[in-house]
Chain A
Amino acid sequence: MAVKPFGLVFFPAFDWALTPTHPEREERLLYTRDQIVEEGLLDIPGIREYKPRLATLRDADRVHIGVPDIGSHITDAHLVSAGGAITAAEAVVKGEVARAFALVRPPGHHAMRVVHGTRGFCTINIEAVMVEYLRRHHGIRRVAIVDTDVHHGDGTQDIFYHDPDTLFISFHQDGRTLYPGSGFTDEAGSPPALGTTINLPLPPGTTDEGLHYVLDNLIIPVLEDFRPDLVINSAGQDNHYSDPLASMAITAQGYASLAAKLRADVAVLEGGYSIEDALPYVNTGIILAMAGLDYSRVVEPDIAAAPRGLSDGTRAYLRELVAKQGALWRERESLSSAAAAKAGDFWTRRRGIYYDDSGISEQQVERLRLCPHCRGYLAVATEAEGHRTGYQSAFAAVVPRESCPACRQGAKDAVLAAKRQGKYQHYYIQDKENDSLERV
């Protein structure tokens, strides 16, 4: 029997697919459903299944700036999926359960702040929508997100890149060998939030042993040091040795013991495309581990196919990685001040962002006001071009919570000035203090 009550939001979206043969299709969680139901997991006293609520467009607007608006990019499925994450988190925050797992689709961790379309199967970032909902409605402040998907959680990183209250740790297969091609150690947060983004690129073929080395020696100690109000696990499962989209070697036992050590308050499913050979077992393992139950018998039938051990090269690389990122963490405050001093009043970043599913390429310029009195404000200029969507552009300013009057005014002025120049099609102010996304 579960040691502590555990909440499960299971939403396999059996009637939703990106396209009929896409990895994000109706069939994806079919075998996971079969396994969970067949095991009888939903009948265990202490395991409580929740129906996902429907997130609102307003919940999405708290995080995203959709061009022209978020509603034109998403379907009901996205609102159920994000709503499922909120349902899970709320069950924990209200004390109904000790932990919860939103085993939902579609996923979200590649969706960035600005949304022109779908990238990496994601349109809205369901964890970010959940986190901002909790901040708005439940007074949660410090949040740690550990992204255990094989792909770099570039969307989540983007959304919280300037936020020192959100610790984002992502381990993933090295971006030189896999989509989205980012997540290197030098992506560590903008100056005010330097060190609260931690990327751990892992060599292809990394096994349970390698992953747990990084977990034990870096992730867990950093989490303890950060003292978050809430730990979120972006629980992608495509590090599995049988996953068709990646080349890692994690097993169901590796994932389950990770869940047991991480002790996340809320886990949210992300990727995982070995729908028959991995997902049924990985999900069963994670549910048992999060519920405090024995998961030792959850073993893939084809476990003999799983690579084991660790090469000397990988071992040395991981040791160095842990040392380097550990040092960055310990010195983050002085590094942050130095970076801010170097940047002056504004920190600027230019990027190209590619939407593989929608066939869009975006050029984006962020200008972050570094304010001595508050978190500053962010101005984002975006231009996107796609065969189906044509040209879309927008200029937005984001006012964080607890901003000073000068920065509130500065954000407004920046948008009005851009509008006077008239270079963009759409103008927005996203005000986190007033919980509004306003068209200017």
Chain B
Amino acid sequence: MLLGIDVGGTYTDAVVVAEGKVIAQAKAPTTHDDLLAGILAALDRVLDGVDAAGLRRVALSTTIVTNAVVEGRLERVGLLLLPGPGMDISALVPERPRILSGYIDHRGRETAAPREAEVASACRDLDGCEVYAVAGKFAVRNPAHEQAVAGWLRRHARPAHITLGSAVAGSLNFWRRANSAYYNAAVWRHFGRFARAAQAAVAGRGVTAPVYILKADGGTMPLAAAGERPVEAVFTGPAASVLGIMALAAPRGEAVSLDIGGTTTDIALWRDGAPLFAERGAQIGDYPTAVRAFWLRSIGIGGDSFVRRENGRIIIGPEGRGPAMALGGPAPTVSDAMIVAGAAGFGDKDRAAEAMRLTAAGGETVQETARSVLAAAAEAIQAAIANMIDERASEPVYRVEDAVRDLRPQPAALIGVGGAAAGLAPLVAERLGIRCSVPEGAVVANAVGAAVARPTIEVTLRADTAQGYYTVAELGLRAALPSRRFTLANARELAARHLAERAAAAGIPVADVESVYDEEFNLVRGFSTTGKIIACQLQIKPGIFTAGEGV
């Protein structure tokens, strides 16, 4: 049995899944001041009648990191950057950085050395700072400078924690890594406190199963390992929903999914049964980061969206004014329209009709108004989907082969989950001319997603055979190549070994390894080939436990 808990804006949901089926579900109000209280209340309710000893894993999707960022509960971070020559990003990061000398170039070669004296002076300057983030340009090609700076920090300050940019992401993009490292350090203490409390509280209920936390990319990590990488637990709600869809509907081929909630609809596109990733990483506040996340679009339309008429046109959302009038709310909502149109069965039908009367244009029946409201909502969602498809189709490509190919997504199916999915998803699918499914259990999709999310982890290996070394950024590793005749196939094998190592260290089982990207270039100097640059990224594919699969 797998237990999943999703902390939502209003409710904290908990489910127990066995053999791919939801066997228990419960909810408790989300306690914003102390998330743990709501989590434990939901846990207690769902475990009522379930044998806790049979649980193999507890997985949490929590807003703890997102809230800390949104509410500005961020610890002061000593941010040290080694930008070398290039764009000045001093004003583009969340905290005033100390700029250090030292430069690693695109091949991972040192072209200028860092200086301990500068770090010592920064430490005096940052007196009282206990957490630090260090990011260097091209540190993913050679982490030596970041590591040296960390060493000097330990000598000249008393850091409780240091985040290295190259350890939070293995891919290029110094600005994003710097932002990621900053946020990781800034939420480190807050998250750690929560993680320890959660671990203790769960254990206190006689649950001996390990506790995992969901990541933005839909993977999970053991709570203990998450302590060093808390930034990856940002934006887990939408990730949980996407995994829930995977568990409940198993989309195949190209598809589009909708999570239609109270006031928002989250849209994801799928290819080959897997959701698409955001190309470069998640945006946190005003700052782009390297945190891997699904590519989602959120629009302000949901069951509780406020409906009115302005200059004869029906306007929906983006805000809500409370629940549906059918449920005692103050103003017409999309849910009221669904009730009148016969697409939802809850609440007071007369009040719903009253809501539509308030929205009706002259001479319209309430049924006609309800249909118009739902059509307008479906149209807005359809437009957002079209927008995403356009954006994906115009995603730049760097190879001729890809430039001449039509890469436009063509979803053939639509999956709807969330409270208002049954009323709206079929209308959107109809407009797109594709088939629709609203799977059973759709209202607790997020908690199901958390329950069944499979742990995932990635490694990025880059070899430079001319220089005879390779790096694995996420491990802070730079080592000699076993042979100068090193091929892409060798690189994949070596990367797979390091992936297994990294997974073992994090307590993650290795299953379903896939290649995220690879590239291979001949280095030609003076008209002869002097070596190769080979890069590959492997990951344990984000996904779900299927029936019978272990943790």
Contact = CB atoms under 8 A, between A and B. Distances in A.
A216 interface: no
Interface stretch (B102-110, B247-255, B367-375): B102-110
B200 interface: no
A40 B290 CA distance: 11
A167 B400 CA distance: 32
Given A39-B87, A54-B403, A293-B87, A26 B398 contact: no
Q: Which 3 A-B pairs have the closest CB atoms?
A: A40-B175, A301-B111, A34-B106
Contact of A34 (B111, B172, B400, B527): B172
Nearest to B85: A299
Nearest to B87: A39
Given A15-B401, A80-B400, 7 more contacts: A21-B528, A27-B524, A38-B86, A40-B175, A79-B404, A276-B106, A298-B86
B282 to A, nearest CB: 12
Interface string A333-374: 000000000000000000000000000000000000000000
Contact of A52 (B103, B112, B403, B519): B403
Interface in A284-300: 284, 288, 293-294, 296-300
B87 A14 contact: no
B89 interface: yes
A289 B178 CA distance: 23
A21 B529 contact: yes
Interface string B86-106: 111100100000000001011
B193 interface: no
A438 interface: no
Interface residues of A, number: 51
A299 B395 CA distance: 30
Contacts of A288: 87
A43 B86 contact: no
Interface stretch (A5-13, A196-204, A311-319): A5-13
B176 A43 contact: yes
B403 A39 contact: no
A294 B105 contact: no
28 contacts: A1-B92, A9-B396, A13-B400, A14-B399, A27-B523, A34-B106, A34-B138, A37-B172, A37-B173, A38-B172, A40-B87, A40-B175, A50-B396, A51-B394, A51-B403, A52-B403, A54-B404, A76-B403, A276-B106, A284-B86, A284-B87, A296-B88, A298-B86, A301-B84, A301-B85, A301-B103, A301-B112, A302-B111
A276 B519 CA distance: 18
Given A14-B399, A40-B176, A43-B280, A276 B107 contact: yes
B396 A51 contact: yes
B288 interface: yes
Contacts of A298: 85-87
A43 B398 contact: no
Interface in A23-61: 25-27, 30-31, 33-35, 37-44, 49-52, 54
A209 B92 CA distance: 32
A41 B176 CA distance: 11
Contact of A76 (B85, B398, B404): B404
Contacts of B173: 37-38, 40, 43
Interface string B514-543: 000001011110011100010000000000
A139 B106 CA distance: 43
B520 to A, nearest CB: 9
B27 interface: no
B404 to A, nearest CB: 5
Contacts of B528: 21
Contacts of B529: 20-21
